[in-house]
């Protein structure tokens, strides 16, 4: 009887051990039950879902408004944050005001003082401030009224920015007749862009070409990108934010008022083949640059792939957001080619982009 009891205890211990091992292992598997990411020191390669080599991103469902940014998850965010070694922050936003450069297809900006300290009291329509008994210290304040476009300064194009076809459809088949309106779009507006925390990679094509800024109408090809990566000794991973430097923001100055130089060099950018390569072969989750439009604008004697084909491909067909006018000069100066990219867009319903942003790179 004692032997039977002992055997029973041993069997129970074995079952308990195996059950504990199994449960412990499950804590480290992904949602699909796959093996845990391979560890390498403190870094690991997170599993990114939704991307197929040779095809790109999606689909994410008939109601999706987020696109490739759906692929961010707890593991990819932890991996991105794990890149931070020094705690040095690079401000990628440009200053913007009524005198700043903008793409000609967008409306101008006006910043007006709506309330100034004297106006608060003299206008008298806010009685508590105008009453000397209630406000003997003469407290006033500043507030401004803004008239501004939603595609200016440092920004991220939303997936409803570009339309195509007679029915004016955008990402995921949303149509103007169904989801347009007098107060902004009602699908894929700026509020659908989630907080972005990814691995960021700078491809400094200007430095590779040994110029301060790429010439006007410079066409950045796949070969340019591959050669830049080889020289920088950096590789792209699925789920990366890729920033491409032309050098254009070198001329931004205090507020981007050097319109002549910015306007000329703003025409340098990637072509459609390079955009497809970044998405379908490398898995870029967001692509940006230091220009107003990311893509190459052909010169007068050059053949185009259509009107803004890179925007059409990325935003409508792949659901990949576009970052514009990111100031990459400090990253280039310090030769920082890998970093943690962080950006939160303003949540203005109906707006087609997150605009006048202040994204950061952390190394």
CA gap 15, 7 in Å, rounded: 12
Look at residue 292 in the predicted model and tell me its pLDDT: 96
pLDDT tier, 43 (very low <50, low <70, confident <90, very high otherwise): low
Q: Which of 155-180 are b and which e, b meaning 16 or more Cβ less than 10 Å from the residue's Cβ?
A: bbbbbbbbbeeeeebbbbebeeeebb
3-class SS at 287?
strand
Look at residue 36 in the predicted model and tell me its pLDDT: 41
Percentage of residues in the chain with pLDDT exceeding 70?
88
Look at residue 100 in the predicted model and tell me its pLDDT: 95
pLDDT tens for 303-347 read 998 999 999 999 999 999 999 999 999 999 999 999 999 999 999
User: Considering the chain, what is the average pLDDT of its residues?
Assistant: 89
For 89-109, what is the mean pLDDT? 94
Look at residue 120 in the predicted model and tell me its pLDDT: 83
Look at residue 11 in the predicted model and tell me its pLDDT: 44
Q: Does the pLDDT value for residue 19 go beyond 60?
A: no
pLDDT tens for 235-264 read 999 999 999 999 999 999 989 989 999 999
Percentage of residues in the chain with pLDDT exceeding 90?
79
CA distances to 186, 247, 323, 363 from 178, rounded to whole Å, are 9, 41, 27, 44
3-class SS at 167?
coil
Look at residue 44 in the predicted model and tell me its pLDDT: 67
- Give residue limits of the domains in the chain: 2-36, 51-102+149-362, 110-147
For 68-82, what is the mean pLDDT? 97
Q: Identify each DSSP E strand in the chain by its residue range.
A: 39-40, 43-44, 51-52, 56-57, 89-91, 110-115, 143-147, 155-157, 196-204, 219-220, 241-245, 269-270, 286-289, 321-324, 338-343, 353-354, 360-362
Look at residue 22 in the predicted model and tell me its pLDDT: 36
**Contact of 81 with 197, CB cutoff 8 Å:** yes
Joined together, the tokens standing for residue 116 give 């100034």
Pair type for strands 241-245 and 196-204: parallel
**Contact of 253 with 295, CB cutoff 8 Å:** no
pLDDT tens for 195-246 read 999 999 999 999 999 999 999 999 999 999 999 999 999 999 999 999 999 9
For 9-21, what is the mean pLDDT? 41
Residues paired with residue 362 on neighbouring β-strands, in sequence order? 89, 340
CA–centroid distance for 167 within its chain: 28
CA gap 276, 215 in Å, rounded: 23
Q: Read out DSSP for 178-196?
A: HH--BTB-SSS-GGGS--E
What is 51-102+149-362's CATH topology? Glucose Oxidase; domain 1 (3.50.30)
pLDDT tier, 110 (very low <50, low <70, confident <90, very high otherwise): very high
3-class SS at 121?
helix
CA gap 155, 94 in Å, rounded: 10
3-class SS at 160?
coil
Kindly report which listed range (32-36, 219-223, 265-269) carries the lowest average pLDDT score: 32-36
Joined together, the tokens standing for residue 321 give 């957001």
Joined together, the tokens standing for residue 200 give 């960021």
pTM of the model: 0.86
Is the peptide bond between 182 and the residue preceding it cis, with omega within 30 degrees of 0? Answer: no
């Amino acid at each position: 009887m004692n032997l039977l009891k002992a055997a029973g205890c041993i069997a129970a211990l074995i079952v308990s051990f195996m059950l504990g091992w199994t449960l412990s292992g499950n804590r480290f598997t992904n949602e699909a039950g796959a093996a845990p990411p391979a560890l390498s020191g403190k870094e690991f390669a997170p599993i990114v879902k939704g991307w197929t080599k040779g095809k790109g991103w999606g689909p994410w469902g008939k109601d999706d408004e987020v696109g490739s940014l759906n692929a961010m998850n707890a593991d990819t965010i932890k991996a991105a944050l794990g890149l931070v070694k020094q705690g040095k922050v690079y401000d990628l936003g440009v200053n913007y005001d009524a005198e700043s450069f903008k793409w000609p297809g967008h409306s101008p900006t006006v910043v007006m003082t709506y309330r100034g300290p004297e106006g608060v009291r003299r206008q008298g329509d806010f009685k508590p401030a105008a009453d000397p008994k209630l406000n003997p210290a003469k407290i006033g304040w500043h507030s401004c009224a803004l008239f501004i476009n939603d595609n200016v300064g440092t920004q991220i194009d939303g997936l409803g920015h570009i339309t195509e076809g007679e029915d004016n459809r955008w990402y995921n088949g949303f149509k103007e007749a169904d989801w347009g309106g007098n107060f902004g779009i009602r699908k894929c507006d700026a509020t659908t862009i989630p907080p972005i925390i990814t691995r960021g990679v700078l491809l400094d094509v200007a430095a590779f070409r040994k110029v301060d800024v790429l010439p006007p109408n410079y066409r950045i090809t796949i070969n340019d990108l591959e050669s830049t990566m080889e020289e920088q000794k950096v590789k792209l991973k699925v789920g990366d934010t890729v920033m491409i430097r032309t050098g254009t923001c070198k001329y931004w100055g205090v507020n981007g008022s050097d319109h002549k130089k910015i306007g000329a060099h703003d025409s340098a950018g990637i072509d459609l083949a390079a955009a497809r390569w970044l998405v379908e072969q490398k898995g870029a989750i967001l692509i940006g640059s230091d220009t107003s439009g990311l893509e190459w604008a052909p010169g007068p004697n050059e053949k185009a792939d259509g009107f803004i084909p890179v925007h059409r491909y990325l935003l409508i067909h792949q659901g990949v957001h576009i970052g514009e006018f990111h100031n990459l000069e400090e990253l280039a100066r310090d030769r920082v080619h890998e970093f943690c990219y962080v950006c939160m867009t303003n949540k203005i319903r109906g707006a087609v982009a997150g605009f006048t942003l202040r994204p950061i790179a952390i190394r």
